[in-house]
Every structure is written in C-alpha cells, then in structure tokens.
C-alpha cells in the first residue's frame, strides 16, 4: 500500500487496484487523449491544459477513477475513510479532490507506462532502420 501525504496534511493510502479496473482507466484516458492535437506550433502549456481539462471533464474517466477509489483510503481529521460519495462533501476535503485524483491516476497508470516506453523504444528503433 502506497501512502501519499497531501498538501492539506491528509494522507492517502492507495492499495493495489485490480488489473481490469486499472486497464479500464488506462484505456479510457488514452481514448480521451486522442482529442488532443499536437503540431509543430503547439505550446506545451496548451497541451497540458488540454490534457488536464479533458481528463477532469470526462465522465468516463471519472467513472473509471471511482472504481479505482474502492482500493483507496483517505485519512483526514475525520479518521481513515473509504472514498465514497460523501468523502469530499466537507469544504476542507474538496481542496484535496484534484490532488487525490492525480495521485491515484499516477499510481494506477505508472506500471503501464514502463511497458509503453519499452514498446515505443522498440518501434522507433525498427522505424529508424527503414529510414
């Protein structure tokens, strides 16, 4: 179980998310990211903004993330809580929502990114032999 201390002082305990739930989040985020357009003139700030807005505006991403939250505990002054529809009702807890979503997404998706890097590296090496 990974612990993440949030800016507010609350602690997030992220357990192992089942492969199917993690893969669903991964696939949905990749699908949503296809809306981001890259060009030689693209500004990094705009790409980051687009990714952030698409991720937090997507109901599909939100639904998949809530499945992952089933393996997460949120520890604040109320105690150690399972994340549910009431967790972020207190105004103080709402300040943690974006950080919680980001931390859980990062933890759930990081194992996939290692394999993705390896796959792209191999593809680029093979493509280079044809150029």
**Dist. CA 20–CA 4, nearest whole Å:** 23
**This prediction's pTM:** 0.80
Q: Which residues contact 111 (CB under 8 A, 6 or more apart)?
A: 22
Crossing angle of helices 97-130 and 59-69, rounded to 10°: 110
Q: Beta partners for 81?
A: 74
| Rounded percentage of the chain residues whose pLDDT exceeds 70 | 81
pLDDT at site 87? 96
Task: Give me the sheet containing 11-14, strands edge to edge.
Answer: 2-5, 11-14, 72-76, 79-82
Tell me the residue range of the domain where 6 lies: 2-130
Which tokens go with 6? 């949030």
- The confidence band for 80, taking pLDDT boundaries of 50, 70 and 90, is very high
- Is 104 in contact with 68 (CB distance < 8 Å)? yes
DSSP state of 83: -
């Amino acid at each position: 179980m990974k612990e993440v201390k949030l800016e507010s002082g609350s602690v997030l305990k992220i357990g192992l998310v089942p492969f199917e739930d993690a893969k669903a989040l991964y696939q949905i985020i990749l699908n949503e990211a296809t809306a981001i357009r890259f060009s030689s003139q693209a500004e990094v700030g705009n790409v980051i903004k687009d990714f952030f807005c698409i991720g937090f505006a997507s109901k599909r991403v939100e639904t998949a993330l809530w499945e992952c939250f089933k393996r997460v505990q949120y520890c604040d002054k109320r105690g150690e809580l399972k994340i549910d529809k009431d967790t972020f009702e207190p105004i103080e807890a709402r300040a943690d929502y974006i950080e919680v979503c980001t931390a859980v997404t990062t933890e759930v998706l990081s194992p996939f990114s290692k394999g993705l890097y390896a796959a792209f590296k191999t593809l680029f090496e093979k493509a280079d032999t044809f150029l």
